[in-house]
Structure 1
Amino acid sequence: MPFFRTPAFLRRAFPSCYWQVPYKHTQRPTLYLTFDDGPVPEATPQVLRILDQYNIRASFFCVGDNVRKHPSLFREVLQAGHTVGNHTFHHVKGWHTSLTAYLKEVSLCRQIMEETAGTALPRLFRPPYGRISPKQLRALRQHYAVVMWDILTHDYDPRLQADGLLPQLKPLLRDGSILVFHDSIKAYPRMIRLLPAIIEAGLERGFSFATLEEGLAPALTALALPAAYRYEPM
């Protein structure tokens, strides 16, 4: 049986990561929808359409190489009012990557995102697969809010069906929950059915939705970003 809510022992092992949003910036209970691995034309436009239909803003952890391949789509995400975060340039596994190579992946991803956006972007980072070494985390947490998740939808797993996932996911929604979806080709068949159903379930229970830039604003303001990571428009 897969874990839908992150086990407590993992949260205790990485207490400096954000598993939920701890700050209250609205009177209503709030959910934070996040999407990993895009942008790709086979999935991201459909996600944007659904979010626009419900007037919801979300957060997209982008793979740098996909931003390079689809720059106009990346700009569409930003123009729609969504927040973007860093997901490394090649979607690398931290456990199998040296510290130097990992930091370069993060730096390259930030560079292509900010060059494409033409502006500095929020200092949000999510390690692909949630796999990051203690050394990598220590190096990054000074300059990024390292975001994990409270609820994993498992939309990426082709062995599972959306109809079977929904009863597992809906009861887990709670104030501050960070939910992980994937705007990827692999996840699309499940994600495209799960997303509107989860939104509807949240709205029925009185939740609002917000971006991580809004929810983690105090933490992001406190971060110091070195010049090497910052893009200055010409």
Structure 2
Amino acid sequence: MTIPRRRLLWRAVSCTAAGVLLGACAAARPRDRSAPATSQPGQPRRTDDHGASVRQSPTTATRAGKPARVVEIGHAPRSAPRVALTFHGAGDPSTAEALLRVAEHVKAPLTVLAVGTWLSQNPTMADRIRRGGHELGNHTLHHLPMRTLDQSQAYDEISGCAAVLRRLTGSAGTWFRASGTQHTTPLIRTAAARAGYRVCLSYDVDTLDYLDPGPAAVVRNGVDSAKPGSILSLHMGHPGTVQALPALVAGLRAQGLQPVTVTELLR
């Protein structure tokens, strides 16, 4: 598939139901390091004409009788000095609330990819996230290791979280991130397309905050690796991440990189 110019691509992928890993997400699983960093057979990675990282599915899913192709995006074009802070949405809701307050204080909008069961258990968080100027997306229903699931199970995980999002917000959100893996497979992308998503959101900067390395390490991991267009992976349920956020945002801005939502990053 030839990747069209950036504006056409972003319009195409953002026009369906309502992001980087996927998450290396620590809650309910071991270190999320199972995915290889390089492309595997059947999972070609390309960059578009503007330098965005796009992994294309060699298969198509059918939606409303029409073929739909889903892509994985690991970062935006490198031409604009912006980055996106994407968060695994789970953990202690009081820690999540503290993180949102800090983000709003430093004027850094976040993209939260929420676990469906977490939202069901904490339904007010959906409105709280959106009310703060952040965006909300899908990080599966139960946060299972998606590379181990069959097609039916993968679809149930994605569509189940989408149903929670629709019930709480009226929209399934634009962005889907697979759980338990940084990079998707054709099977996962096909399930995502079937559930109504055109983009699987990966990332190119892993802060490793889910390992609780301390705020200084989180800041260093993020700032040292970030480039224009980067998508950073972070987690809401870790106090060290809350402590690190002001310095992380300041460090990014010192490099001329402005945090924005994924929607704004890919606009």
TM (norm. structure 1) is: 0.78
Higher share of residues assigned strand: 2
Q: How many residues align?
A: 207
Structure 2 residue aligned with 1:128: 179
Is 2:38 the partner of 1:9?
A: yes
Change (3 A) 1:7 1:109: closer
Taking every aligned residue pair, what percent have the same amino acid on both sides? 22
Say if 2:103 is the partner of 1:48.
no
Please list every run of at least 4 consecutive aligned residues from structure 1 whose deviation after the TM superposition is greater than 4 angstroms.
10-14
What is the letter of the counterpart of residue 33 of structure 1? L
Q: Which amino acid aligns with 1:197?
A: A
Aligned equivalent of 2:207, options 153, 158, 163:
153
Q: How does 1:192-203 map to 2 (within 5 A)?
A: 192-203=242-253
Specify the code of the residue in structure 1 equivalent to 2:75: Q
Q: 1:22 to 1:141 in 2, by over 3 A?
A: farther
Task: Quote the offset at 1:130 in angstroms.
Answer: 2.0
CA 1:172 to 1:97, structure 2 compared with 1: closer, same or farther past 3 Å?
same
Q: TM-score, normalised by structure 2?
A: 0.69
2:126 to 50, 67, 74: 74
**Cα distance change of structure 1 residues 72 and 90 upon mapping to structure 2, 3 Å threshold:** same
Indicate how the Cα distance of structure 1 residues 32 and 42 shifts in structure 2: closer, same or farther if over 3 A, else same: same
Q: What SS does structure 2 have at the residue aligned with 1:129?
A: coil
Is contact 2:176-2:200 (8 Å) kept? Answer: yes
Q: Unaligned 5+ residue runs, structure 2? A: 1-30, 46-54, 57-71
Change (3 A) 1:10 1:192: farther
**Would the alpha carbon gap of residues 99 and 192 (structure 1) be closer, same or farther in structure 2, given more than 3 Å must change?**
same
RMSD (Å) for aligned C-alpha atoms:
2.7
Cα distance in 1 between the residues matched to 2:228 and 2:78: 10
Shift of 1:23: 8.1
1:71-93 deviation digits (Å, cap 9, x = unpaired): 11221001112111100110111
